């Protein structure tokens, strides 16, 4: 009788299957590793930044799943490296943002620099989108991500996730309606 696979072997297998587009395999990887990723993220960044950081890290893991090489290390270490890298990027970005106290002189802005009001609008729109996406269920986010980021058709999503085509269509329509309600001014 064969002994059960180790935790690392199971995760490597999930990533190998996810690399071929099997969404359910990536969901299994997510469920098994999210506690580790969240613990690291909480140690590195503010609690308010953890959900976005994890979303970015897992999205990168999904896109790069086919590149994972179990000979180079464990799947958890691979994921945690992504979480750490994104956390350091965020911390560097936050550190580079300079706040001015009342009375401080503003630096000269080159004429080709982007308009600060446009930058503020883009940042707020991104925050609203992240907030709206957080209201979706994991299945709704998942199929919406496959449709928009992987550019898969409803039929392709149904085949890769194993969900019935009608369920895929319903999930996408419901997710779009929720986002519309959240983002309409």
* pLDDT the model gives residue 120: 54
Q: Rounded to whole angstroms, what are the CA distances from 165 to 58, 112, 117, 159, 174?
A: 25, 49, 43, 8, 14
**pLDDT over 70 percentage in the chain:** 81
* pLDDT the model gives residue 39: 93
Residue 105 has pLDDT above 70, yes or no: no
* pLDDT the model gives residue 108: 54
Q: How sure is the predictor about 100, in pLDDT bands with cuts at 50, 70 and 90?
A: very low
CATH class of 1-97: mainly alpha
Every domain of the chain with CATH number 1.10.1740.10 lies at: 1-97
Q: How sure is the predictor about 37, in pLDDT bands with cuts at 50, 70 and 90?
A: very high
Average pLDDT, the chain: 81
- In the block, tokens 């996730």 appear at 161
Average pLDDT for 143-154:
82
Residue 88 has pLDDT above 50, yes or no: yes
DSSP readout, 11-69? HHHHHHHHTTT-HHHHHHHHHHHHHHHHHHHHHHS-GGGHHHHHHHHHHHHHHHGGG--
CATH class of 118-185: mainly alpha
Every domain of the chain with CATH number 1.10.10.10 lies at: 118-185
Which CB contacts under 8 angstroms, 24+ apart, belong to 19-24? 19/65, 19/66, 19/67, 19/68, 20/66, 21/150, 21/160, 22/160, 22/161, 23/142, 23/146, 23/157, 23/160, 23/161, 24/161, 24/162
* pLDDT the model gives residue 118: 57
* pLDDT the model gives residue 163: 82
Q: How sure is the predictor about 102, in pLDDT bands with cuts at 50, 70 and 90?
A: very low
CB 96 within 8 A of CB 103: no
């Amino acid at each position: 009788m064969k002994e059960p696979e180790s935790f690392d072997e199971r995760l490597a297998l999930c990533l190998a299957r996810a690399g071929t587009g099997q969404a359910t395999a990536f969901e299994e990887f997510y469920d098994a590793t999210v506690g580790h990723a969240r613990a690291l993220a909480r140690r590195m960044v503010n609690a308010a930044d953890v959900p976005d950081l994890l979303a970015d890290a897992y999205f990168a893991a999904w896109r790069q799943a086919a590149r994972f090489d179990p000979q180079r290390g464990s799947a958890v270490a691979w994921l945690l490296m992504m979480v750490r890298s994104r956390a350091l990027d965020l911390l560097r970005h936050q550190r580079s943002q300079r706040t001015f106290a009342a009375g401080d002189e503003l630096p000269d802005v080159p004429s080709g620099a982007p308009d600060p009001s446009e930058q503020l609008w883009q940042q707020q729109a991104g925050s609203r989108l992240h907030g709206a996406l957080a209201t979706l269920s994991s299945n709704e986010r998942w199929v919406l991500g496959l449709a928009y980021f992987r550019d898969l058709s409803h039929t392709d999503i149904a085949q890769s996730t194993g969900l019935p085509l009608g369920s895929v269509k319903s999930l996408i329509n419901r997710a779009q309606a929720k986002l519309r309600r959240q983002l309409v001014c």
